[in-house]
Amino acid sequence: MLTFGRVPFLLPLALLACASPSAGPADLVLQGAAVWTGVPAAPLAEAVAVKGGRIQVVGTAADVRAFIGPETDIVELAGGMVLPGFIDSHTHFIPGGFQLSSVDLRNAATPDDFARRIGEFAETVPPGTWITGGDWDHEMWGGELPRKEWIDELTHEHPVLVSRLDGHMALANSLAFELAGVTGETKVPFGGEMVLDVATGMPAGVLKDEAMTLVSRAIPEYTEDELDRALDAAIAHALSLGVTQTHHMGTWADLETFRRARNDGRLKMRVYSVVPISTWQRLRDFVAENGRGDDRLWWGGLKGFVDGSLGSTTAWFYDPYADDPSTSGLLLTDTASLRQMAIAGDGAGLQLIIHAIGDQANDWLLDVFEAAGDANGPRDRRARIEHAQHLSGDAMGRFEALGVIPAMQPYHAIDDGRWAEKRIGPERIKTTYAFRSLLDAGATLAFGSDWTVAPLDVRLGIYAALTRRTFDGANPGGWVPAEKIGLDEALTGYTLGSARAGFMEEKVGSLEVGKYADLVVLSENLFDLDPVEIPDVDVEMTIVEGEIVFLREGSDD
């Protein structure tokens, strides 16, 4: 429960004169809860004062009380916890906004359930509407890939392209293949695979990685109004979860959507908008003309892909898959081309933010980052490997040595852990999502969700990092438990670590005087809980730059 009020007295003039860095009464005070500052030397405090959108004081209740004036808004917290606003270092944010109003297949447990949900959703939208999103997981029903025949009769008026939750496979129905002009004879682009029916030689329905573009190119482009509405929905969802900043892996159209929101005053959170590495020259020129944005919206990062995903058997490993020895994964980009773009983009002063899942993909990418440093000279480049999921033993120490940031998603560990061993065997899983090993080797972890691949809920990510309990209940002591980390470490991954990954650690990510007042208030002190209780904690309030942008319904009763 929260209570709001003001105190009817004036701050003494003597105290005003010596207050620093921002003298005068606070605009907002939060008190009555534990405060986790994110500062290693002083991690816990009792209250926070905010002035002009920045942290004015963080310390004891007495420290903060001295800055309360007649116009100060005071939030009395009946316990709970105040933390720096959560920073999600890896989302597909605008697609997430669309997904909020699309068909939900994430927990479809059988082929019949999968088909039924798509059919029922089709009845709610006009004929001709493309059905996208989905986030299905074929491991929910034993691993059989879906087929277009499962849904054709239910969607004869609606083209369908619904994605697996990792975004590296999609199912299309017959109408979608027809509209896209795709047959069994269609040439599949490099880095992709089209599953064919062995009896007919025609597409069976599933497209992997770059092959998805064969059908997705037939989907009409979203209008600006549709993009704006999806962004607004995504922002509201994020703020309700305490997420005050995200690093969005997207397109130039997405960047323009964020810029419209920024100009219209609708961008109520911070966004680092990242564009494809294939457009590095365009971004170089855009930065030269427009700068890199501001503290609410900025750009300067390049997103690339080395390989696919474990769930789609397209992650690039040294050794073949245990459950499919015919493959050791896919390269999504020609290695010579990606290496050239990476070194050139780095040379232009842009940040490299590149996806790698398999052990060979990660080793190859670390080599490329090292080559970029050798070619372009020393600077604070903060190259990132997105996911860094399966690492060789040699890779662990190279992150810190090269200054490379592993941008990782704890939720994936407790999701993939249900079936990962059947893909790659008992030895390779030992260095899967190796949070503990990377921290011990000196790496800076930046945590995120990969929304819509996983839920945009930091509580679930913290739970995953601390427990590594898979959703099937098969690992109550944790899946690969040696890689568990502590609560302080997990919180840092979602705050200061992610801030550093976006070059924002001097302004956000911890509660320190002068930093932006980006805060989240939780209903419980996480340090008092069993980690298994963390997903049930409520987000009571979210504050961005001193403005309350989310207040849980009923929390101010």
| Tens-digit pLDDT profile for residues 421-446 | 999 999 999 999 999 999 999 999 99
Q: Note the pTM of the prediction, 2 decimals.
A: 0.89
- Give the span between the Cα atoms of 168 and 357, in whole angstroms: 12
Is the separation of the CB atoms in 397 and 441 below 8 Å?
A: yes
Of 274, 282, 316, nearest to 299 (Cα)? 274
String of DSSP letters for 476-523: TT-SSGGG---HHHHHHHTTHHHHHHTT-TTTSSS--TTSB--EEEES
Is the separation of the CB atoms in 32 and 79 below 8 Å?
A: yes
Side chain identity, residue 170: A
The CA-based diameter of the chain, rounded to the nearest angstrom, is 87
Q: Are strands 539-544 and 547-551 parallel, antiparallel or unpaired?
A: antiparallel
Give the pLDDT confidence score for residue 554 in this predicted structure. 77
Phi/psi of residue 352, nearest 5 degrees: -90, 125
Give the pLDDT confidence score for residue 557 in this predicted structure. 55
Q: Are strands 539-544 and 73-77 parallel, antiparallel or unpaired?
A: unpaired
Which helix (H) or strand (E) is 268 found in, with range? none
- Give the span between the Cα atoms of 57 and 63, in whole angstroms: 7
Q: Give CA separation, 186 vs 85, 168, 339, in Å.
A: 48, 19, 29
Q: Give CA separation, 542 vs 35, 41, 243, 416, 538, in Å.
A: 14, 25, 8, 30, 11
Which tokens hold the place of 468?
Answer: 């590594």
Which tokens hold the place of 510?
Answer: 């911890």
Which tokens hold the place of 396?
Answer: 């662990």
- Give the span between the Cα atoms of 179 and 126, in whole angstroms: 17
Q: Please list, in sequence order, all residues whose beta carbon lies within 8 angstroms of the beta carbon of residue 548, skipping any fewer than 6 positions away.
A: 541, 542
Give the pLDDT confidence score for residue 2 in this predicted structure. 65
Is the separation of the CB atoms in 237 and 105 below 8 Å?
A: no
Is the separation of the CB atoms in 328 and 318 below 8 Å?
A: yes
Q: What count of other Cβ atoms lies within 10 Å of the Cβ of residue 224?
A: 12
Give the pLDDT confidence score for residue 106 in this predicted structure. 87
Rg of the chain, C-alpha, whole Å: 24
Residue where the block lists tokens 């809920």? 457
Q: Please list, in sequence order, all residues whose beta carbon lies within 8 angstroms of the beta carbon of residue 392, skipping any fewer than 6 positions away.
A: 318, 359, 362, 363, 431
- Give the span between the Cα atoms of 205 and 150, in whole angstroms: 10
Q: Where are the beta strands (DSSP E) in 124-219?
A: 133-136, 161-164, 169-172, 192-196, 203-209
Per-residue pLDDT of the chain (557 residues; tens, 9 = 90+): 465 554 433 333 223 223 344 689 999 999 999 999 999 999 999 999 999 999 999 999 999 999 999 999 999 999 999 999 999 999 999 999 999 989 999 889 999 999 999 999 999 989 999 999 898 999 999 999 999 999 999 999 999 999 998 888 999 999 999 999 999 999 999 999 999 999 999 999 999 999 999 999 999 999 999 999 999 999 999 999 999 999 999 999 999 999 999 999 999 999 999 999 999 999 999 999 999 999 999 999 999 999 999 999 999 999 999 999 999 999 999 999 999 999 999 999 999 999 999 999 999 999 999 999 999 999 999 999 999 999 999 999 999 999 999 999 999 999 999 999 999 999 999 999 999 999 999 999 999 999 999 999 999 999 999 999 998 999 999 999 999 999 999 999 999 999 999 999 999 999 999 999 999 999 999 999 999 999 999 999 999 999 999 999 876 65
Of 491, 256, 262, 247, nearest to 351 (Cα)? 247
Phi/psi of residue 460, nearest 5 degrees: -70, -35
Give the pLDDT confidence score for residue 18 in this predicted structure. 33
Of the chain, the end-to-end C-alpha distance in Å amounts to 7
- Give the span between the Cα atoms of 252 and 258, in whole angstroms: 10
- Give the span between the Cα atoms of 457 and 267, in whole angstroms: 20
Of 252, 295, 289, nearest to 271 (Cα)? 295
- Give the span between the Cα atoms of 328 and 318, in whole angstroms: 7
- Give the span between the Cα atoms of 20 and 483, in whole angstroms: 42
What would the pLDDT profile of 270-320 be if each residue is shown by its tens digit? 999 999 999 999 999 999 999 999 999 999 999 999 999 999 999 999 999
Question: Which residues on neighbouring strands pair with residue 307, listed in sequence order?
Answer: 331
Is the separation of the CB atoms in 37 and 44 below 8 Å?
A: yes
Q: Where are the alpha helices (DSSP H) in 389-447?
A: 396-402, 410-416, 420-428, 435-440
Give the pLDDT confidence score for residue 165 in this predicted structure. 85
Q: Give CA separation, 337 vs 366, 404, 486, 535, in Å.
A: 16, 21, 40, 43
Is the separation of the CB atoms in 446 and 493 below 8 Å?
A: yes
Q: What count of other Cβ atoms lies within 10 Å of the Cβ of residue 113?
A: 14
Which helix (H) or strand (E) is 226 found in, with range? helix 224-240
Give the pLDDT confidence score for residue 356 in this predicted structure. 98
Give the pLDDT confidence score for residue 16 in this predicted structure. 28
Give the pLDDT confidence score for residue 556 in this predicted structure. 65
